[in-house]
Amino acid sequence: MKNILIITLEHPPEIGGIASYVDQFAAALPEQNNVTVYAPYHPGDANWDRTVSYTIIRKKPYFPIGIWPRWLRMYFQVRKIVKERKIDIIFLHHILPVGYVAWLMKKTKKIPYVIFSHGTDILAATKTKWKKRMAKMVCTQSESIVFNSESLKHRLVKELPEFEQKSLVLYPCPDDALYHPPAQDFLDSLKSQYALEGKKVMLSIGRFEDGKGFPHIIRILPKLLEKIPNLVWLVIGDGKKQEKLVTQVQKNSLQNIVRFLGKVPHNEVVPFYYIADIFTLLTHPDEGKEEGLGLVFLEAAAAGLPVVAGKSGGVPEAVIHTQTGLIVDIYHGDNVVVDAITELLTNKEYADRLGKNAQERMKADFNWQYQMEKIKPWIE
């Protein structure tokens, strides 16, 4: 296998879909001794880095404000890594500014690169004529452009149609641990810890930011409680909107219904999928931004947990409506969402069937052995 350098601006212990994707992709590459990941520093990174089988090199990627271009620092760091690790190919995440670094490495050191795009980078890279021109320059010199959904691929091709032939989709894959339920006594103790005995548990995981739909769930909770009086909502995540969400919960006197668990490390999140009855995240388009795919939907599916997902971007690729879960459009009114959640919480046979279908689909199509076949030419 080639010596591979993966460049990312998001990596565990940072919590998020992109960080998880990069880690799982790196861990799935055949020969771990040949894999190096360049990532920024993050609180708790030393402990995390000791747990992985590939090499992680942490750096500060940017020069201080006032020195331009700030990303040039990353270029010098990457150039040194390429030389020391005898790198054959670069896999970069985010088109800009990381693409500048890869473009320069190809120009100066003849190192080929493959772009992995996750959605927000497409929006950022096509915001202005200048950035669109730079994105086009970076994409032109790439070996291929890899997307985590057909929806994302369509978005780039719409902006830059000349790259359709060099684009492909490589789906993220849930951790193997998600297919194996933790011991029942541990799950029982977790339920006791959060006072979930005799409750219907709805789980949501995500960053508290626009487009994830957390305020919409809070808004419909009173209607849900009329139909499901013993409902409890478990929420894992954090973000800039947290204070506003907590205030909204207090304003509606929902403190006994909502459990904010804060950030939970990705490798500790599995049990929460197994103590929940349903997974819900009302993703939706927001000011041009849409969900790339939604790794949490794949994780819920791997655990056999039925899903109610908001229609946005690549979500219909992660959740097949009425086959592996239910997709709702929040712009079609609250009753549509309330009815979907109520259906899965009251019709156990239907919910179990969707969860089983979802898990079987994950095992068949969303496994790294199958997905890695798509990039064989660049790793062998």
Confidence band of 87 (pLDDT split at 50, 70, 90):
very high
CA geometry: angle 365, 371, 373, nearest 5 deg = 125
Q: Of 34-43, 67-76, 151-160, which gets the smallest average pLDDT?
A: 151-160
Q: Which fold has domain 4-170?
A: Rossmann fold (3.40.50)
> What does the alpha-carbon distance between residue 183 and residue 222 come to, in Å, rounded to a whole number?
34
Residue 234 near residue 263, CB atoms below 8 Å: no
pLDDT score at 120: 72
Residue 135 pLDDT > 80: yes
pLDDT score at 265: 86
From 89, 99, 125, 91, select the one nearest 2 (Cα to Cα).
89
Give percent above pLDDT 90 in the chain.
88
Confidence band of 287 (pLDDT split at 50, 70, 90):
confident
Confidence band of 34 (pLDDT split at 50, 70, 90):
very high
Residue 122 pLDDT > 80: no
Mapped onto helix, strand or coil, the DSSP state of residue 151 is helix
DSSP assignment of 288-318 equals TB--S--HHHHHHHHTT--EEEE--TTHHHH
**Cα distances (Å, whole numbers) of residue 121 to 9, 136, 235, 290, 354:** 11, 13, 27, 12, 33
Q: Of 40-44, 136-140, 202-206, 284-288, which gets the smallest average pLDDT?
A: 284-288
Q: What is the pTM of this model?
A: 0.92
Average the pLDDT over 63-82 and give the result.
96
Residue 13, preceding peptide bond in cis (omega within 30° of 0): yes
> For 218-228, what is each residue's pLDDT tens digit?
999 999 999 99
From-to residues of CATH 3.40.50.2000 in the chain: 4-170, 177-365
Structure tokens at 130: 């200048």
Average the pLDDT over 360-373 and give the result.
94
- Residue type, position 38, single letter: Y
> What does the alpha-carbon distance between residue 268 and residue 7 come to, in Å, rounded to a whole number?
25
Q: Which long-range contacts (CB under 8 A, 24 or more apart) does 315-319 make?
A: 315/283, 315/291, 316/151, 317/149, 317/150, 317/151, 317/171, 317/293, 318/149, 318/293, 318/294, 319/294, 319/358
**Rounded to 5 degrees, what are φ and ψ at 280?**
-135, 130
Confidence band of 266 (pLDDT split at 50, 70, 90):
confident
Average the pLDDT over 95-124 and give the result.
91
Sign of CA pseudo-dihedral 222, 225, 227, 233: positive
pLDDT score at 320: 98
Span 177-365 CATH architecture: 3-Layer(aba) Sandwich (3.40)
Confidence band of 157 (pLDDT split at 50, 70, 90):
confident
In terms of pLDDT, which residue wins out, 317 or 267?
317
